[in-house]
Amino acid sequence: MNDGALFLAVFLACIVEAVEATTIVLAAGTARHWRSAMMGVAAGIVVLAVAVAIAGPAISLLPLGILRLVVGGLLLVFGLQWMRKAILRASGFKPLHDEEAIYRKQVAAAEAAGTQARFGIRDWYAFTLSFKGVVLEGLEVVFIVLTFGTNQKNIPLAALAAAVAVVIVVIVGIAVRAPLARVPENTLKFVVGIMLTSFGVFWGVEGAGGEWPGADASLLVLAPAIAVFALLLVVVMRSIRRATAAKTASVPQAVGDSGNGGATAAAAFTTASVGGAPSGSSSVLSAAVSAPAAAPVGQARPQSAGVRRLKAFGLFWYDFVIGDDWQIAAGVLVAFIAVFALSGVSSLSWIVGPIAVVVLLPYGIRRALR
């Protein structure tokens, strides 16, 4: 990958995360208190800076082969999840990502919350909302910068690309003081998902001992091939949805039957798809933190606040590393083990990587539609 490709890959990926974080901060500032929201942003940036200072040197100490294997695996898991969601949205099985709707929801929640001052901060809710938004989305930016930058031995360029993306989004957000609804985020996620998947397969196979024909030039074939495959899945999914909707419309519905064409189409795709993560937009951390505690059963002792926080922390990192479908992550691991096993006996071990994408992406879509 040359410097231009590195800059573009990091820039596009970070724009997506910056849009989501900016939407949260705008909602907190508009509905609550701007100074408290900005203090939350500043605190989040400090946490991310510490994360970079600690993780950066540690990652750079890893041998290149292990680094590419780990980074490739994580990027492939990320990329497959982003592509799965983008395909479901493009084919109509999942609502399009609407920043304006998310903004309105965040504003409504912020306006309904009570006001409480803590540690000299006038509005603790605005502070924590902005802080969490910056840290959660920022961690993905940090991950992208460190993995791409370290692997290409050019962290400063990756950091510059991320900074440019964030600055552009923030300037636009401040200028319009509204959600960045005009940013084609769904298209960006589709493109970034293809890029993450392509680099993930490429680096993971190399780290597992495989050798690509043509070395780095194989990326010029791999990325377009993955893009074409994803677009074909969109076409297939749209055809299935249209056919199922037409069939459902022609069959009289029983009383009380909702006639959910999407669910019926999901069943059809389950039968028709190749081979055998949650599609909701809420993170595991949000669910773990915001969900009310379940009523105790029998004489069970309620968990302490410390245990709940520890569990939420663990669930967050599980969601961040494994994602919303552990079977996809397991499939990626199995694929790289297969590459390692075959690399010593065949020069074609690299082919396991593309095959894994062809199998795992439809499989993930199928599981999401169940």
> What are the tens digits of pLDDT across the range 310-340?
777 677 667 767 777 888 989 999 999 999 9
Helix 34-60 to helix 3-31 angle (10° resolution) is 150
- What are the C-alpha distances in Å from 275 to residues 2, 263, 279, 349? 36, 19, 19, 21
Sorting pLDDT into bands at 50, 70 and 90, what band is 359? very high
Q: Given a cut of 60, is residue 265 above it in pLDDT? A: no
pLDDT over 90 (residue 360):
yes
Q: What's the predicted TM-score (pTM) here?
A: 0.63
Distances (CA, A) of 199 to 9, 152, 203, 366: 10, 11, 6, 24
Span 181-190, average pLDDT: 70
The residues, any chain, with a CB within 8 Å of residue 311's CB and separated by 6 or more, are: 288, 303
Residue 118: helix, strand or coil by DSSP?
A: strand
Percent of the chain topping pLDDT 90: 12
* pLDDT at position 264: 45
β-bridge partners, 118: 121
pLDDT band for 235, please (50, 70, 90 cuts): very high
CA 71, CA 326: separation in Å to the nearest integer?
17
Task: Please provide the average confidence, as pLDDT, over all residues in the chain.
Answer: 75
Output the pLDDT for position 110.
59
Lowest mean pLDDT among 121-135, 225-239, 332-346: 121-135
Residues in contact with 127: Cβ distance below 8 Å, sequence separation at least 6, in sequence order: 36, 37, 39, 40, 43, 121
The larger pLDDT score, comparing residue 152 to residue 185, is at 152
* Residues forming beta bridges with residue 121, ordered by sequence position: 118
What does the pLDDT average to over 33-47? 83
What are the residue ranges spanned by the domains of the chain? 3-247+261-277+325-368
- pLDDT confidence of residue 116: 67
Low-confidence winner among 101-115, 221-235, 313-327, 328-342 (lowest mean pLDDT): 101-115
Q: What local confidence, expressed as pLDDT, does residue 263 receive?
A: 45
Over 90: is that where the pLDDT of 356 sits? yes
Instruction: Give 94's contacts (C-beta < 8 A, 6+ positions apart).
Output: 85, 88, 279
Q: How confident is the model at residue 66 (pLDDT cuts 50, 70, 90)?
A: confident
Amino acid 97: pLDDT: 59
Q: What is the mean pLDDT of residues 298-313?
A: 67
Tokens of 149: 């930058």
- Mean pLDDT for 40-59 is 80
pLDDT of residue 278: 35
In the prediction, which pLDDT does 294 show?
47
- What's the pLDDT band for 351 if we cut at 50, 70, 90? very high
Q: Name 201's Cβ contacts closer than 8 Å, sequence gap at least 6.
A: 72, 76, 222, 226, 353, 354, 356, 357
* pLDDT range class, residue 248, cuts 50, 70, 90: confident
pLDDT score for 98: 55
**Identity of the residue numbered 328:** I
From CA 199, how far away is CA 236, in angstroms rounded?
A: 25
Per-residue model confidence (pLDDT) at position 251: 63
What number is the average pLDDT over the span 104-121?
A: 63
Q: 136 vs 179, which has greater pLDDT?
A: 136
**pLDDT band, residue 183 (cuts 50/70/90):** low
Mean pLDDT of 248-274: 49
pLDDT for 188 equals 74
Among left, alpha and beta (phi > 0; psi -120 to 50; other), residue 255 is: beta
Average pLDDT score over residue span 71-79? 85
More confident residue, 236 or 261: 236
